[in-house]
């Protein structure tokens, strides 16, 4: 298997490290993401796990291209074959995925809408204290543009997000349609500084990395405990299968000893 080496880091990391950031910068990033998705979708490929961690720059140059990474959950589908399995990352999954309905390329476009929301607002649109509440909000497409963070964002940017975070998958913009949206083309994107959004995005990045580190620690602990349990079970099974020693006729009962001792 041959894979492309990308060394430019994640999209959100590059944004928070920039000296300045505005809607036009965001729209350019978004255009590259949509262009890649259009290529995939035209060939019947559904990514199924779009999220910030899977958007990487090819190298550290300012003009480097944005790449879509991690196709471990991707699927090839056509008009007769639709995936019904629940997959992806909580918070980015489309409603039809959670409901186990037939899912096509539109599920990727919902994830794109979530990414766009975070890109401009700096926080997750369906965030909740627990997964149940988050899924309930996703199934209702229940999100709001908090004016504390969105007052400086153009109506065109919000219009694009509203056309992506739509419950009806058939009504969602396709990658090709989204590419023709005036905001993505840069014509309707503001050039005012988005310092507040950049700061919020920096906080979001920190939380995301903390969650990833916590999940990795819990996963490691789970594998260690599972390994210990398997080892103990194997040892116990071997001990149970080992024949018990019995005292010979020539040995007195006082001299007889068990072949082994099991400790629990």
- Domains along the sequence of the chain with CATH: 11-215 (1.10.510.10)
pLDDT at 107: 95
Range in 63-72, 152-161, 220-229 with the lowest mean pLDDT? 220-229
Tell whether pTM > 0.85. no
pLDDT beyond 70 at 55: yes
Q: Does residue 192 carry a catalytic annotation?
A: no
**110-119, 144-153, 227-236, 240-249: the lowest-pLDDT one:** 240-249
151-186 burial, b if ≥16 CB within 10 A, otherwise e?
ebbbebbbebbebbbbeebeebbbbeebbebebbee
Choose from 86-90, 121-125, 202-206, 238-242 the range with maximum mean pLDDT.
Answer: 121-125
Between residues 9 and 193, the one the model is more confident about = 9
Q: How far is CA 80 from CA 76, 84, 239, in A?
A: 11, 13, 55
pLDDT tops 70 at residue 209? no
Q: What is the mean pLDDT of the chain?
A: 82
Please identify which of the residues 25, 35, 49, 129 carries the catalytic annotation.
49
């Amino acid at each position: 298997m041959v894979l492309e080496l990308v060394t430019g880091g994640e999209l959100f990391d590059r944004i928070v490290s920039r000296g300045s950031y505005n809607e036009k910068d965001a729209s350019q990033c978004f255009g590259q993401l949509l262009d890649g998705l259009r290529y995939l979708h035209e060939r019947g490929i559904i990514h199924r796990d779009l999220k910030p961690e899977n958007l990487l720059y090819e190298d550290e140059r300012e003009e480097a291209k944005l790449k879509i990474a991690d196709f471990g959950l991707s699927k090839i589908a056509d008009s007769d074959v639709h995936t019904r399995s629940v997959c992806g990352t909580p918070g980015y999954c489309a409603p039809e995925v959670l409901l186990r309905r037939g899912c096509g390329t539109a599920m990727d476009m919902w994830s794109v809408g979530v990414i766009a929301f975070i890109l401009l607002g700096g926080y997750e649109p369906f965030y909740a204290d627990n997964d149940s509440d988050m899924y309930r909000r996703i199934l209702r497409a229940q999100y709001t543009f908090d004016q504390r963070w969105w007052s400086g964002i153009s109506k065109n940017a919000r219009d694009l997000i509203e056309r992506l975070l739509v419950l009806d998958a058939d009504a969602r913009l396709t990658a090709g349609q989204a590419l023709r949206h005036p905001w993505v083309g840069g014509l309707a994107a503001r050039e005012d500084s988005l310092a507040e959004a950049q700061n919020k995005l920096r906080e979001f990045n920190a939380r995301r990395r903390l969650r990833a580190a916590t999940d990795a620690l819990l996963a490691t602990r789970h594998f260690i405990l599972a390994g210990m349990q398997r080892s103990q079970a194997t040892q116990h099974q071997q001990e149970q299968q080992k024949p018990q020693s019995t005292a010979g006729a020539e040995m007195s009962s006082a001299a007889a000893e068990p072949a082994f001792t099991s400790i629990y």
